[in-house]
Amino acid sequence: MPSAAISKYFDATENRNIRDDLIFAVDKVTGPKVAVDCGCGAGADIQYLASNGFAVYGFDVEEEAILRCKERFKDIQSVKLSRSSFSQYEFPNVSLVVADASFFFCPKSEFPSVWRKVYDCLPQGGIFSGSFLGPDDTMASSKYNPDDFWPEVAVFGEDEVKKLFAKYQVLRFNEHRTSGAAPGGDLHDWHIYSVVAKKT
């Protein structure tokens, strides 16, 4: 049973705006239009990818996310959904890996093997588009209540994020620091690194 906060989050984000990074990343894909959306949530990015001609594999640890997406994409055969954690998921071969705001919740001890799977599922020239939680985000502080959302938070320093991309060509790297109301209403300080990169 997801928390009320998670359901509220899915309600608030199912039709959210598509981030510039994903639009940019889609434009950089040269291989077959096949993508995986890691931690797909309510499916905003899947919708964008499918409407741009991509076959999309989406997975999420939350049953509610997968049920919502199954209903939402029931008429689109090329969207394949699975309930899975990052560490359990068997990544298909794709040209684009999307992980928007989702690796924020990958247990740090599991991240190295997940990151290896991301690398392995991409061909040379394949594209990664995603974001990482910085140390000054509200979720990285004691104000984060793991009972409301997902139990573990993975925080990355800037150098640590940059090191992840040693075997990629970084096409875009941005640090975002903003404050305001989070989906659901609470005040939030965001500190996020977003990256679009090409496997070399």
**Site residues for ligand SAM per CB under 6 A:** 13, 39-41, 44, 60-62, 65, 85-86, 100-102, 105-106, 150
37 forms beta bridges with 58, 98
**Nearest approach, Cβ of 22 to ligand SAM (angstroms)?**
9
What gap in Å lies between CA 29 and CA 60, rounded to an integer?
A: 23
Distance CA 42, CA 12 (A): 9
Radius of gyration of the chain (CA): 16
Cβ proximity to ligand SAM, 154 vs 161, nearer residue: 154
Position closest to ligand SAM via CB: 41
Give the nearest distance from C-beta 61 to ligand SAM in angstroms.
4
Cβ atoms 96, 70 nearer than 8 A = no
Q: Shortest CA distance to 40 belongs to which of 21, 61, 26, 25?
A: 61
Distance, in Å, from the CA atom of 167 to the CA atom of 117, rounded to the nearest integer, reads 14
Tokens 């959302």 appear where? 149
Report the nearest approach of ligand SAM to the CB of residue 136 (Å). 17
Of 39 and 126, which CB lies nearer to ligand SAM in the complex structure?
39
Cβ proximity to ligand SAM, 41 vs 126, nearer residue: 41
User: Which is closer to ligand SAM, CB of 30 or CB of 109?
Assistant: 109
Least separation in angstroms between residue 121's CB and ligand SAM is 15
